[in-house]
Structure 1
């Protein structure tokens, strides 16, 4: 028995589209209710990150497969999300539990004010005994639908609510050293470091073809959770009850690092930089060794077309990205600021320019300190 599962006070469970929908794309209520039955022992301190809104909207809209264009994806999400949450509310309600819908976008976990609001809302729902049903806000999202799935969102939510355990459910019962559908393969029971993943390849969607995630995104989500001190388990939806009882099913990713803010995990693992800032040696030392904010005086060059609040890479003189952060200015503003002190900029351009280009609270290192 896995004692740490029994000891987990707060659990985040993520379930994929393929585990909730029919082959035709509609919501499979019987499978959803079976999942809820397995989760009931944890209700009260459970957060459920559920895919399935877009997939659930396919059949009602007469769509044979997941659409490729963004507008139709958003329409399917809008139709499917209501039926998805209604089904969860009915299933949990029969056992005396209420659910609350929480739709998030990337902005809600990277902007400091939004981040605090999201964390407070989730904590309060749990304090009230409500089961939060979390999903990306697919009906209005743009980049979230293009780049992602709910696996990484679940890892971020696990940190957002200070969870002890993250369980990633799909149609595969764990991580194998080869594709079990193509021949002999061995299940990896435990992952304690990236060395245990050496030589593995993982790609593609689930067997139903209605989701956007695959084993690769689950591995990345599990690594993200583990790097911030949260134990993660990858297994199938059919194993939901056994895994939450502590039975030896699935693949466990043991924590590899200390707890970190969800926003920094998002920056390190789930963003693509919109541009880069070239730093001199002094700025590299300040950011990497002293964990200081990035000031205009230490920036020698700007590349990319980005807006204030976008993620950018901070690059050393030799071309190595050393950190990633949320930039405080638009790209077009920065060339006139490079190499100058904040006091000089404030005197010439106004007090709004007497601040950091990237604040240390919005920055994560990409290389080990030396």
Structure 2
């Protein structure tokens, strides 16, 4: 059994497009009803549930007479506009059979990662929890541009799990879990548990189905994000959702690897585009990596780029290797004036850190 999942008080479940459609690519209302029944039962036990669902574009394939997921952006967005209404209506009707209300939230990954917008998403979801409503999140494909690509809902689900401080994330699709080789390879076996994703040596070349977009590689990225954020993950087949929620040994389990991080540091690690680069000397690099010290101006060799105080920067060590990211304590102009200067050399002024240790994430 997996007590981390069985005893979870907050759960995020992501369901892929292939698990919501029939052989013709049309929305399968029986599957929707199954998911609603299982999640409603979890909700009735007092567990706070967020459903991250794919399927908006897939739901429109039948009504629009499309044989497969469209390739061009305009048709994708048009299909999403048609399918989102069909999808949320199906979920709303299915959950209503169990006396549960649902709410639709259309987001992009950027909505969850930008400091100015993730707070609004968090406040909305928190209020829905208190009202006893199950939030249903889907990527807003009608306005997304480059965001419509492989695995967005997997990554979005991982970020939502961190946002709402979930205990467990279930990534459910048409695969039974992670295998030692491609699932069609003779002798390939399911991996029950993964403690270190970086040490995996498996074939992740399998792509998504004709109605979905995600492949195994995107699911591993999502599992990596979630486990680093203190959330345990199950990757499995949507047919086993009930068993997975009960903590049974289905799919592949990824235990949480560390304590929860502040939400702002999650944004720094997985989304922030650095506004500049700080190249540090060998002494500063050792201090950062061995003692997790703050980065002082005295240890900065070079400032690249133009940035304001408080903006994200990348920290470079020997050979230009990235060793971390952080929110800088100076503007680029001010920091340039303090390069290599210690507090003693600054005279009466006490120099603040170039990047404080509490505002920094180091690359493992």
Match of 1:155 in 2: 158
- 2: CA distance between counterparts of 1:357 and 1:70? 43
- 1: CA distance between counterparts of 2:311 and 2:18? 33
Contact 1:299 1:339 in 2 (8 A): no
Q: Cα 1:59–1:248, aligned 2, differ >3 Å: closer, same or farther?
A: same
Match of 2:64 in 1: 61
- The secondary structure found in structure 1 opposite 2:27 is coil
Match of 1:220 in 2: 221
- 2: CA distance between counterparts of 1:102 and 1:311? 28
Contact 1:312 1:327 in 2 (8 A): yes
- 1: CA distance between counterparts of 2:146 and 2:328? 18
- The secondary structure found in structure 1 opposite 2:223 is helix
Contact 1:294 1:360 in 2 (8 A): no
TM-score scaled by length of structure 1: 0.81
Matches within 5 A, 1:65-214: 65-146=68-149, 148-194=151-197, 197-206=199-208, 208-214=209-215
- Deviation digits for residues 89-138 of structure 1, max 9, x if unmatched? 00001100000111222332222232222112111111111000011221
- 2: CA distance between counterparts of 1:52 and 1:246? 26
1:299, distance to aligned residue in structure 2 (A)? 7.1
- The secondary structure found in structure 2 opposite 1:26 is coil
- 2: CA distance between counterparts of 1:149 and 1:179? 22
Contact 1:278 1:317 in 2 (8 A): no
- 1: CA distance between counterparts of 2:222 and 2:154? 6
Aligned residues: 348
Contact 1:109 1:263 in 2 (8 A): no
1:213, distance to aligned residue in structure 2 (A)? 0.7
Contact 1:159 1:230 in 2 (8 A): yes
Contact 1:39 1:240 in 2 (8 A): no
1:291, distance to aligned residue in structure 2 (A)? 5.9
1:155, distance to aligned residue in structure 2 (A)? 1.0
- The secondary structure found in structure 2 opposite 1:178 is coil
Q: Cα 1:42–1:279, aligned 2, differ >3 Å: closer, same or farther?
A: same
Contact 1:283 1:299 in 2 (8 A): no
RMSD: 3.4
Match of 1:20 in 2: 20
- Structure 2 stretches lacking a partner, 5+ long: 340-351
Q: Cα 1:58–1:357, aligned 2, differ >3 Å: closer, same or farther?
A: farther
- The secondary structure found in structure 2 opposite 1:46 is strand
Match of 1:340 in 2: 337
- Structure 1 stretches lacking a partner, 5+ long: 343-354
Contact 2:280 2:315 in 1 (8 A): no
TM-score scaled by length of structure 2: 0.82
- 2: CA distance between counterparts of 1:89 and 1:292? 50
- The secondary structure found in structure 1 opposite 2:50 is strand
Match of 1:300 in 2: 302
Q: Cα 1:25–1:112, aligned 2, differ >3 Å: closer, same or farther?
A: same
